[in-house]
């Protein structure tokens, strides 16, 4: 009872208040395949030293991203992070700081959030950005709900090139918040997707991704005009924020809201998290923006200072007018993003983007020459799709056994679509070397021979 203080009666009362019959009913949305039938098979109690040894042995079974040629992307990317980033974010005043409720005591936090917002707005080509969200997928869902509030419509059109995880998060929100979501089928290498035909007077927004999930870069200027003519909004998603150092920004294409993942700058892969959600929009939409927004002001003595200009949240006094249930922001990840981008500067960002593109082009040209391999992406940044002459999953497993992490089989995201079984998603960043390219090319030739 020391660690389990609730009685059966306590649990029954809570379940009754929630409106379910059992604890299992609370997990109805978790697939059975994702649930454990029993306890994790771990030893009982042991000393700290013994535990460290066991964990180290378990960890050694993984192939670390930096230990082999690495070509995995799909929404999380391996980039070089300057040592200064980690050194600065681990300073006590940053590492231990919490939500800046009292601006007079949190000027440093508010200042870097203000600078972060400025960077995001400049990168995306938008007029205003918030102080970050949890990750790109939830930022995408928040952007959709923001569009629904602005247009007072409930129909959402989703491109087949949107990351499937982002689409699934939007589908979950749609189920509980109550809006209609129509997603087109994924089609790597198919540039015929026409979203304009699906836009009508009931459409709240159209959600696209650029570069798309399969790496394709497109111009959505015409789609933006079509949306605006119908009173709808264009939401552009960016999973590789570094691409905006090389391609036309969503704002220049006419986007109304931009949702993005900021992990590529300042934040390592870390086995899936934590990540950094970015959200930016036109200034006229700022009142419906979720999360919080740091602003610049002057104090009674005329000195520059910072405040939370916008923070209509469920924890605050105006919680009945909250735009979402987001209760914090990825503050430390946002700081890492800001430091990394400040170190790069505009020139450094552009150069880094060019290095990424050059690495991807060099790899694509090599792999495309291998008999049976077809390049599906006509225009891409640092990620592209291939069609192999056999199931991609088996090839990836074979190359992993040879010490090459060769990308992601698209079937991992779409297991029920047999037409995608031979598609492979490959990413190349500034971290890959000429030797890595040589190794990938050689191992793929051998695997397909």
pLDDT at residue 175 in the model? 93
pLDDT at residue 29 in the model? 84
pLDDT at residue 316 in the model? 62
More confident residue, 54 or 356: 356
Taking residues 173-198, report their average pLDDT.
Answer: 93
pLDDT at residue 311 in the model? 74
pLDDT at residue 1 in the model? 56
Check residue 405 and report its DSSP letter.
Answer: B
- b vs e for 26-47, b when ≥16 Cβ sit within 10 Å of the residue's Cβ? eeeeeeeeeeeeeeeeeeeeee
Of 45-59, 287-301, 382-396, which has the strongest mean pLDDT? 382-396
Structure tokens at 440: 């990938």
pLDDT at residue 40 in the model? 84
Whether 318 and 287 have beta carbons less than 8 Å apart is answered as: no
Whether 100 and 110 have beta carbons less than 8 Å apart is answered as: yes
pLDDT at residue 312 in the model? 64
Supply the pTM of this predicted model: 0.91
pLDDT at residue 321 in the model? 74
318 band by pLDDT with thresholds 50, 70 and 90:
low
350 three-state secondary structure: helix
Kindly report the average pLDDT of the chain as a whole number. 93
Check residue 113 and report its DSSP letter.
Answer: H
pLDDT at residue 289 in the model? 93
pLDDT at residue 325 in the model? 80
Query: What pLDDT, in 10s, does the model give residues 136-171?
Result: 999 999 999 999 999 999 999 999 999 999 999 999
Q: Which domains does the chain have, with CATH numbers?
A: 69-81+346-448 (3.90.1150.10), 83-341 (3.40.640.10)
């Amino acid at each position: 009872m020391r660690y389990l203080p609730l009685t059966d009666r306590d649990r029954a009362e809570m379940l009754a208040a929630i409106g379910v019959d059992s604890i299992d009913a609370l997990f109805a949305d978790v697939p059975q395949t994702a649930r454990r039938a029993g306890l994790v098979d771990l030893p009982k109690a042991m000393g700290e030293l013994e535990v460290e040894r066991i964990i180290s042995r378990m960890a050694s079974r993984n192939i670390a991203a930096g230990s082999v040629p690495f070509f995995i992307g799909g929404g999380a990317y391996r980039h070089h992070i300057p040592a200064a980033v980690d050194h600065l974010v681990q300073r006590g005043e940053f590492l231990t700081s919490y939500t800046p409720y009292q601006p007079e005591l949190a000027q440093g936090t508010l200042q870097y959030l203000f600078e972060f917002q400025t960077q995001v707005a400049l990168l995306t080509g938008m007029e205003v950005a918030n102080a970050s969200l949890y990750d790109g997928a939830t930022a995408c869902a928040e952007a959709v709900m923001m569009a629904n509030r602005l247009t007072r419509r409930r129909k959402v059109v989703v491109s087949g090139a949107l990351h499937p995880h982002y689409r699934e998060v939007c589908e979950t929100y749609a189920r509980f918040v109550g809006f209609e979501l129509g997603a087109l089928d994924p089609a790597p290498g198919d540039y015929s997707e026409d979203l304009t035909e699906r836009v009508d007077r009931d459409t709240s927004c159209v959600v696209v991704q650029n570069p798309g999930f399969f790496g394709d870069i497109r111009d959505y200027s015409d789609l933006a005009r079509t949306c605006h003519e119908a009173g709808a909004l264009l939401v552009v998603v960016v999973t590789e924020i570094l691409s905006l150092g090389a391609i036309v920004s969503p704002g220049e294409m006419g986007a109304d809201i931009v949702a993005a993942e900021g992990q590529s700058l300042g934040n390592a892969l870390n086995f899936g998290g934590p990540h950094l959600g970015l959200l930016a929009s036109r200034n006229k939409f700022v009142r419906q923006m979720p999360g919080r927004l740091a602003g610049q002001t002057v104090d009674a003595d005329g000195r520059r200072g910072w405040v939370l200009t916008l923070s209509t949240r469920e924890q605050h006094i105006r919680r009945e007018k909250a735009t979402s249930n987001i209760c914090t922001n990825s503050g430390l990840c946002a700081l890492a993003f800001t430091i990394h981008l400040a170190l790069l500067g505009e020139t450094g960002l552009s150069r880094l983007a060019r290095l990424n593109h050059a690495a991807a082009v060099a790899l694509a040209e090599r792999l495309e020459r291998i008999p049976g391999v077809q390049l599906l992406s006509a225009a891409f940044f640092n990620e592209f799709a291939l069609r192999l002459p056999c199931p991609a999953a088996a090839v990836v497993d074979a190359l992993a056994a040879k010490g090459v992490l060769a990308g992601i089989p698209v079937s991992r995201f779409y297991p029920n679509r047999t037409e995608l079984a031979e598609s492979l998603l490959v990413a190349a960043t500034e971290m890959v070397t000429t030797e890595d390219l040589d190794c990938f090319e050689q191992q793929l030739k051998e695997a397909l021979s």
